[in-house]
């Protein structure tokens, strides 16, 4: 196998990895502030992609140029999912704060399946895969066996940029400070006069917005979306966050890239492509048995 | 010379870089009522957790009747006859009072799978014994409480829950009882009543040794034979309460705190 | 209450349930079912107001064994009443099998607090074991094969024990979810197991009786599903008995204690991992049994029947009934399996509606329709 092939795998893996990392960052944020897993995350991602698709179809009627459509799709898609995330948190997650963690997990799982089913049933012809418009430039460079597509480069940089921006929001802004304070210790944060509820809602909005971004990226990359895409992406994002260590943004990035790396490795090793997921999940389960709190955990999974 | 039941040597517990217990030498004599005091965060509960196997000591050793039991898991510690209560009650509140009590003595119900599932007669006999033991134990603490044997713990008042927790620790007739701040959440009257009940129990089981973590100094003064004072994970004083309470180091530790 | 009176009350309860169940299974027009759907809650409401429900509960607590046997016989009567109705019997058998799996889940997270979002995978392992063993080992009696299928399910589940014990809460949930997906993907790509097309399964033959034939005329005749329904009933009754005995013994007490507070339990000598392992293996074993019977009845299995959403459906059954209450899973399984089949409108919107129902339950009635009561060790007084 020559260098071109390896580079090709590397680039493809990187696109995947960044998408996973975006999802994983969301999981890590929610867990950080509220110690909950919002399992509808993958379906919010899918809904983000479908919202963008619906917008595109509408804008297409108005003959809007591709770049303008894309910007509108991104902005509205991200905002709408951010709002949905905050609403979910307000009405389903926060009221269950005192009940067993399993209940929160279940209620969000079920909310996810409500979103999924709604798209399948109510989006026109929703049970079939939908073509997603190719709005990114289609240029590519050929270099031996490496075919570097411009859209891959754009997607990787956008994803990386989004993660950096999230990191900056958390480290440098007032709301970021509040998020960190709440993640550290809810009681103390309250005593310091931080509006707990507002902070949590903002975190959920932020994480869900990131999910919308990764949903749209996935659509742009594969040029196809379907109602059940969120399930797998959600589970993978969750795995990535957990393997990296819940509560740590770096962990989420490492986990996302690791999962993509494992899939790529699986795809190279096994002739049947679907084995790549079997392989990746098997490794994840083993890693969990070995390091129960993740590779880069900055605190234990559950306090004694 | 009184017999030493429990002894720790240079016991150290650390969390990351922080030493929650630092080289603690400690002794407990048979039949003794020992008060363990010190400001918040001085390592009292950590000490209990290290004794009962919830935390693993970083260094040092724990000796029970001269046998090294350092790092033994909690299940073993229970088998050795050391039981405890928790500062924030850890009862199974959705289960009945009876269930909670027989959890404390559950090894007596362990007849193996066969007897539990298939030979229900022998299980029933054993259970009836346990119910009787539980009923008697409860009524020694409070007559009214014994009536609630088949009610969920969540329906009980705070003091009754404390009583159930103490009974859960006593029902297996341990050699050492560790009480972690039983007065938390109770009125002084309630605490006094509970302590009187405990003293009655002691009168009947003179070899039982008790370690009591407590903030109410009055209470410590009244019930303890001896006190150990901790601060920042180290022992700063030891002796009768009247002696210890006058030591400048102890006063400084408490004044610094308040 | 005198003994005779208690028995009469219990029998009346069984008779009433059989009539209602017969109605749900036999009636086909949507308006008929609709009328029934309005009448049943109304009936329950009035029975509750007249204290008849409490009366019945007391009776059942006094004579648990009589209740159990009379209900099992009641279902036999129901099966015989429906003996010519293929579809109704198929539904009833599915309810019985789903209730069996749900009892496994009840032991797992209702008692010991081990989460399992891969119930359908263990059901599937049982089904595939049945398909393969029945094909390759013709001389092994089918009853034993059902037993082995459960055992294989439990053993493959044992692969997850280490990761589940070392992790808690969300982490353990992820592991079972990952396992469920892994299992399905594995089936799809594996040619030996038939790939996406699945496998044919030969029917059961127990004590020389070939289940493929219609029900013998000497016994009244009827569809070949009658035999499967009876096997599923025997399976459910056995599994229910085991579950109840576990609950009413030291085992159940320890499992509850581990679920509620593992640290405090350990301080009283209770070995948490031991109970979690027991619960996990036993629950998966139950799922495996049910899967084996399911495969033999349908005669055909494919990966598409073992989705994450089916696992969620099973979890919904446990939750709708009332976590940890073994009795509750039976009506809950009935509601969740039968209603969508009866309403074509619902059928399409099934998963959506379940999602909404479970969300509402979690939000407003987290202990389910029939909340679990205190432990009752023996008939009568204790508890």
* B61-100 tens-digit pLDDT: 999 998 999 989 999 999 999 999 998 889 998 999 999 9
What are B227's strand-pairing partners?
Answer: B35, B239
**CB contact (8 A) between residue B103 and residue C378:** no
Whole-number average pLDDT of chain B: 88
List of chain B residues whose C-beta atoms are within 8 Å of the C-beta of residue C271:
75
Higher pLDDT, C290 or B38: C290
List of chain C residues whose C-beta atoms are within 8 Å of the C-beta of residue A118:
352
- Give the distance from residue B245's alpha carbon to the nearest chain C alpha carbon, in angstroms: 33
CA of residue C198 relative to chain centroid, distance = 24
**Which DSSP symbol is given to B96?**
B
Nearest beta carbon to residue C374 from set B53, B96, B111: B96
pLDDT at residue B257 above 70? no
pLDDT tier at B114 (50, 70, 90 boundaries)? low
pLDDT score recorded for residue A276: 83
**CB contact (8 A) between residue A107 and residue C358:** yes
Rounded to an integer, what distance in angstroms lies between the CA atom of residue A124 and that of residue A133? 17
Residue C377 CB contacts under 8 Å (≥ 6 apart), including other chains:
B124, B127, C248, C249, C383
pLDDT score recorded for residue A301: 35
pLDDT tens track for C24-74 = 888 888 888 888 888 888 998 898 888 888 888 888 888 888 999 999 999
Residue C33 CB contacts under 8 Å (≥ 6 apart), including other chains:
C24, C27, C342, C343
The verdict on B75 touching C (C-beta cutoff 8 Å) is: yes
Q: Which domain holds residue A84?
A: 13-136+149-227
Give the best residue of B73, B101, B116 to mutate against chain C (max C CB count within 10 A). B116
pLDDT at residue C233 above 90? yes
pLDDT at residue C383 above 50? no
Rounded to an integer, what distance in angstroms lies between the CA atom of residue A84 and that of residue A96? 18
Assess contact for C130 and C146: CB atoms under 8 A: yes
pLDDT at residue B152 above 90? yes
Residue B9: strand, helix, or coil = strand
Assess contact for C121 and C180: CB atoms under 8 A: yes
List of chain C residues whose C-beta atoms are within 8 Å of the C-beta of residue A103:
362, 366
pLDDT tier at B253 (50, 70, 90 boundaries)? confident
Nearest beta carbon to residue B104 from set C246, C268, C382: C268
Domains and CATH numbers, chain B: 4-81+174-255 (3.40.50.300)
% chain B with pLDDT above 90: 44
pLDDT tier at C166 (50, 70, 90 boundaries)? confident
Nearest beta carbon to residue C254 from set B86, B90, B106: B106
Question: For chain C, what are the domain ranges?
Answer: 1-81, 86-364
State which residue of chain C sits closest to A101, comparing Cα positions.
C169
- Give the distance from residue A294's alpha carbon to the nearest chain C alpha carbon, in angstroms: 10
The verdict on B131 touching C (C-beta cutoff 8 Å) is: yes
Residue A26 domain-assigned? yes
Q: Scanning the structure block, which residue is given the tokens 């517990």?
A: B13
**CB contact (8 A) between residue A106 and residue C188:** no
Residue A160 domain-assigned? yes
- Give the distance from residue B120's alpha carbon to the nearest chain C alpha carbon, in angstroms: 9
Residue B24 CB contacts under 8 Å (≥ 6 apart), including other chains:
B8, B10, B11, B12, B43, B47, B60, B230, B233, B234, B235
Residue C217 CB contacts under 8 Å (≥ 6 apart), including other chains:
none
**CB contact (8 A) between residue B120 and residue C254:** no
List of chain C residues whose C-beta atoms are within 8 Å of the C-beta of residue B150:
374, 382-383
State which residue of chain B sits closest to C111, comparing Cα positions.
B95
% chain B with pLDDT above 70: 96
Average pLDDT over residues C280-298: 96
Rounded to an integer, what distance in angstroms lies between the CA atom of residue A204 and that of residue A224? 27
Residue A25 domain-assigned? yes
Report the alpha-carbon angle C221-C226-C232, nearest 5: 160
Rounded to an integer, what distance in angstroms lies between the CA atom of residue C165 and that of residue C370? 30
pTM of the model: 0.89
pLDDT tens track for C317-338 = 998 898 999 999 999 999 888 8
Residue A238 domain-assigned? no
- Give the distance from residue C156's alpha carbon to the nearest chain B alpha carbon, in angstroms: 23
List of chain C residues whose C-beta atoms are within 8 Å of the C-beta of residue B93:
260
Strands, E, within chain C: which ranges?
Answer: 199-200, 205-206, 209-210, 300-301
Nearest beta carbon to residue A301 from set C109, C171, C349: C171
The verdict on C304 touching A (C-beta cutoff 8 Å) is: no
Whole-number average pLDDT of chain C: 88
What sign results for the dihedral spanned by CA atoms C65, C66, C72, C75? negative
**Which DSSP symbol is given to C196?**
G
Q: Which residues of chain A have pLDDT under 50?
A: 299-304
Residue A80 CB contacts under 8 Å (≥ 6 apart), including other chains:
A48, A51, A212
- Give the distance from residue A69's alpha carbon to the nearest chain C alpha carbon, in angstroms: 32
Give the best residue of A42, A100, A289 to mutate against chain C (max C CB count within 10 A). A289
List of chain C residues whose C-beta atoms are within 8 Å of the C-beta of residue B83:
267-268
Smallest CA-to-CA distance from A225 within A77, A58, A45, A59 is with A45
**CB contact (8 A) between residue C160 and residue A101:** no
Residue C31 CB contacts under 8 Å (≥ 6 apart), including other chains:
none
Q: What is the domain count for chain A?
A: 1
Interface B–C counts its CB contacts (< 8 A) at 96
pLDDT at residue C1 above 70? no
The verdict on B42 touching C (C-beta cutoff 8 Å) is: no
**CB contact (8 A) between residue A96 and residue C363:** yes
pLDDT score recorded for residue B7: 92
Higher pLDDT, C347 or C249: C249
Give the best residue of A40, A281, A301 to mutate against chain C (max C CB count within 10 A). A281
Nearest beta carbon to residue A289 from set C163, C185, C351: C163
The verdict on B102 touching C (C-beta cutoff 8 Å) is: yes
The verdict on C351 touching A (C-beta cutoff 8 Å) is: yes
Q: How far is CA B236 from CA A86, B42, B231, B232, in A?
A: 52, 11, 6, 9
- Give the distance from residue A38's alpha carbon to the nearest chain C alpha carbon, in angstroms: 10
Structure-token pair, residue A285: 């389960």
**CB contact (8 A) between residue C251 and residue B116:** yes
The verdict on B186 touching C (C-beta cutoff 8 Å) is: no
State which residue of chain B sits closest to C250, comparing Cα positions.
B109
Nearest beta carbon to residue C189 from set A109, A274, A281: A274
- Give the neighbours of chain C: at least 3 Cβ pairs within 8 Å: A, B
pLDDT score recorded for residue C366: 85
Chain C residues whose C-beta sits inside 8 Å of any chain B C-beta: 242, 245-246, 249-251, 253-254, 256-257, 260-261, 263-271, 374-375, 377-378, 382-383
List of chain C residues whose C-beta atoms are within 8 Å of the C-beta of residue A228:
none
Average pLDDT over residues C296-301: 92
Residue C190 CB contacts under 8 Å (≥ 6 apart), including other chains:
none
Rounded to an integer, what distance in angstroms lies between the CA atom of residue A111 and that of residue C355? 6
φ, ψ at B181 (rounded to 5°): 45, 65
pLDDT tier at B115 (50, 70, 90 boundaries)? low
The verdict on B253 touching C (C-beta cutoff 8 Å) is: no
User: Kind and range of the H or E element at B177?
Assistant: strand B176-180
**CB contact (8 A) between residue A101 and residue C170:** yes
């Amino acid at each position: 196998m020559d260098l071109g092939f390896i580079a090709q795998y590397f680039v493809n893996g990187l696109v995947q990895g960044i998408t996973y990392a975006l999802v994983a960052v969301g999981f890590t944020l929610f867990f950080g502030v509220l110690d909950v897993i919002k399992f509808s995350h993958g379906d919010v991602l899918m809904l983000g992609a479908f919202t963008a698709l619906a917008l595109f179809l509408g804008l297409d009627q108005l003959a809007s140029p591709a770049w303008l459509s894309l910007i509108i799709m991104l902005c509205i898609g991200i905002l709408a999912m951010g709002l949905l995330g905050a609403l979910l948190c307000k009405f389903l997650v926060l009221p269950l704060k005192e009940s067993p963690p399993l209940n929160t997990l279940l209620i969000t799982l079920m909310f996810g399946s409500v979103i999924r089913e709604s798209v399948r049933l109510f989006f026109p012809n929703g049970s079939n895969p939908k073509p997603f418009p190719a709005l990114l430039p289609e240029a590519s460079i050929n270099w031996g066996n490496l075919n570097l597509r411009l859209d891959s480069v754009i997607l990787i940089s956008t994803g990386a940029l989004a993660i950096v921006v999230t990191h900056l929001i958390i480290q440098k802004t007032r709301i970021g400070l509040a998020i960190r304070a709440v993640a550290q210790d809810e009681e103390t944060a309250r005593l310091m006069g931080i509006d707990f509820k507002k902070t949590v809602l903002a975190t959920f909005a932020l994480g869900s917005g990131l999910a919308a971004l990764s949903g749209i990226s996935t659509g742009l990359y594969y040029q196809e979306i379907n109602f059940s895409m969120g399930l797998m992406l959600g589970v993978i994002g969750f795995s990535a966050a957990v393997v990296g260590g819940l509560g740590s943004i770096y962990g989420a990035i490492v986990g996302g890239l690791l999962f993509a790396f494992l899939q790529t490795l699986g795809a190279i090793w096994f002739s049947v492509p679907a084995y790549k997921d079997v392989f990746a999940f098997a490794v994840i389960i083993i890693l969990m048995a070995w390091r129960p709190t993740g590779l880069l955990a900055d605190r234990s999974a559950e306090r004694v | 010379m009184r017999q030493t039941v429990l002894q720790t040597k240079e016991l150290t517990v650390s969390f990351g870089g922080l030493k929650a217990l630092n080289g603690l030498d400690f002794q407990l004599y048979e039949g003794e009522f020992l008060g363990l005091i010190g400001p918040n965060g001085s390592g009292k509960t950590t000490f209990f957790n290290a004794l009962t196997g919830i935390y693993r000591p970083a260094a040092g050793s724990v000796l029970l009747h001269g046998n090294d039991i350092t790092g033994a898991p909690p299940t073993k510690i229970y088998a050795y006859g050391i039981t405890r209560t928790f500062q924030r009650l850890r009862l199974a509140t959705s289960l009945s009072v009876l269930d909670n009590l027989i959890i404390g003595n559950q090894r007596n119900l362990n007849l193996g799978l066969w007897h539990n599932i298939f030979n229900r007669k022998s299980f029933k006999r054993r259970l009836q014994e346990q119910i009787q033991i539980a009923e008697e134990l409860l009524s020694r603490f409070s007559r009214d409480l014994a009536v609630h044997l088949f009610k969920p713990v969540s329906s009980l008042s705070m003091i009754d829950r404390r009583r159930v927790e103490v009974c859960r620790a006593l029902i297996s007739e341990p050699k050492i009882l560790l009480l972690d701040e039983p007065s938390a959440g109770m009125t002084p009257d309630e605490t006094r009543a509970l302590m009187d009940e405990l003293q009655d129990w002691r009168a009947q089981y003179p070899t039982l040794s008790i370690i009591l973590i407590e903030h109410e100094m009055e209470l410590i003064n009244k019930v303890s034979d001896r006190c150990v004072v901790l601060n920042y994970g180290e022992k700063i004083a030891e002796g009768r309460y009247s002696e210890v309470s006058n030591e400048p180091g102890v006063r400084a530790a408490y004044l610094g705190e308040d | 209450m005198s003994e005779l009176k208690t028995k009469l009350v219990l029998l009346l309860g069984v008779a009433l349930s059989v009539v209602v169940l017969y109605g749900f299974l036999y009636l086909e027009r949507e308006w008929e079912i609709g009328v029934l759907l309005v009448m049943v809650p109304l009936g329950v409401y009035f029975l509750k107001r007249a204290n008849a429900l409490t009366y019945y509960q007391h009776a059942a607590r006094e004579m648990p064994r009589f209740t159990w046997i009379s209900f099992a016989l009641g279902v036999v009567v129901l099966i015989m009443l429906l003996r010519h109705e293929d579809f109704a019997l198929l539904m009833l058998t599915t309810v019985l099998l789903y209730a069996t799996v749900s009892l496994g889940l009840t032991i797992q997270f209702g008692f010991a607090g081990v989460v399992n979002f891969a119930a359908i995978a263990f059901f599937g392992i049982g089904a595939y074991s049945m398909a393969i063993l029945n094909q390759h080992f013709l001389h092994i009696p089918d009853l034993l094969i059902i037993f082995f299928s459960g055992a294989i399910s439990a053993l493959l589940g044992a692969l997850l024990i280490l990761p589940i014990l070392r992790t808690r809460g969300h982490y353990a949930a992820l592991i079972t979810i990952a396992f469920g997906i892994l299992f399905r993907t594995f089936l799809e790509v594996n040619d030996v197991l038939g790939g996406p097309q699945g496998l044919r399964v030969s029917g059961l033959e127990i004590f020389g009786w070939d289940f493929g034939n219609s029900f013998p005329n000497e016994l009244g005749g009827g569809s070949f599903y009658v035999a499967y329904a009876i096997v599923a009933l025997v399976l459910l009754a056995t599994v229910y008995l085991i579950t109840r005995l576990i609950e009413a013994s030291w085992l159940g007490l320890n499992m509850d204690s581990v679920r509620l507070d593992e640290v405090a339990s350990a301080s009283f000598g209770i070995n948490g991992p031991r109970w979690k392992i027991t619960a996990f293996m036993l629950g998966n074993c139950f799922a495996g049994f049910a899967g084996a019977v399911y495969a033999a009845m349908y005669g055909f299995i494919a990966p598409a029947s073992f989705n994450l959403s089916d696992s969620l459906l099973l979890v919904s059954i446990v939750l709708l009934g009332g976590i940890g209450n073994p009795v509750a899973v039976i009506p809950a399984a009935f509601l969740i399996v039968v209603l969508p089949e009866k309403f074509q409108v619902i059928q399409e919107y099934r998963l959506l509606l379940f999602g909404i129902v479970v969300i509402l339950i979690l939000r407003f009635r987290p202990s389910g329709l029939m909340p679990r009561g205190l432990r009752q060790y023996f008939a009568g007084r204790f508890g």
